[in-house]
Structure 1
């Protein structure tokens, strides 16, 4: 399985995980000139921009470690673009990271970091 396939599986797992937590998925893989947002969801009165990082091992670190300052700035710009373009009304904006580890086909470990940055 290549990285793109692993990422797609991780995003589907993350979306299902959020649905199980009563989030409403608004969009997946929103793309604009500033970059891509993996999942945009609604949690009560909050709009949540979610970055999903999926790994098959921790040999090169956890996925959440890849959401560095540069990546955070890109996500913030893309989120502002989304808000200005779609004009949704939300009282809160939040950025979450979902770190998924899939070492084999049976085991999936999901860590959800709310308000990650």
Structure 2
């Protein structure tokens, strides 16, 4: 069964199947991205992070998007999840070019303006998800904390 619909019901179904160990179709990039974000949320929760919002979009500019906003120890954390094949030529973290970093910075500032949240501290993290090329293997996650983005 191919789960490609972005509807809320299908997302719940996907998450349920993934929690049972069913792997997504690796050929579907959008589905792999959602799977990577699901793994990222699961990882953050296991490390004691409180998820505030997932897939936030600005109400003024829909291009401004943040994968995960969470909190830990009073720090507001903006998280970008980069899911890639483990055999990709460019690692997920290294795929963040200057254009994407500027876009993320604008998104973070828009979130702070629109949410009314005024944290004392905030930071930017990247979760890199290496998706296996063989369905029998598990994905590997790398958490890059406190990436310099707020100049």
- Scaled by the length of structure 1, what TM-score is found? 0.93
Quote how far apart the aligned CAs of 1:27 are: 0.6
Corresponding residue of 2:85: 56
Alignment RMSD, CA only?
1.2
RCO higher in structure (CA 8 A, sep ≥6): 1
Structure 1 stretches of at least 4 aligned residues deviating more than 6 Å after TM superposition: none
Corresponding residue of 1:109: 140
Quote how far apart the aligned CAs of 1:45 are: 1.2
2:90 aligns to what SS in structure 1? coil
Give distance in 2, aligned partners of 1:59 and 1:48.
27
Aligned length: 117
Quote how far apart the aligned CAs of 1:60 are: 2.3
Please list, as runs of the form range in 1=range in 2, the aligned pairs for 1:1-117 lying within 5 A after superposition: 1=25, 2-32=28-58, 33=61, 34-103=63-132, 104-105=134-135, 106-117=137-148
2:119 aligns to what SS in structure 1? coil
Runs of 5+ in structure 1 lacking a partner? none
1:98 aligns to what SS in structure 2? strand
| More displaced 10-residue stretch of structure 1: 83-92 or 45-54 | 83-92
| More displaced 10-residue stretch of structure 1: 57-66 or 40-49 | 57-66
- Scaled by the length of structure 2, what TM-score is found? 0.73
Between Structure 1 and Structure 2, the one with more strand by share is: 1
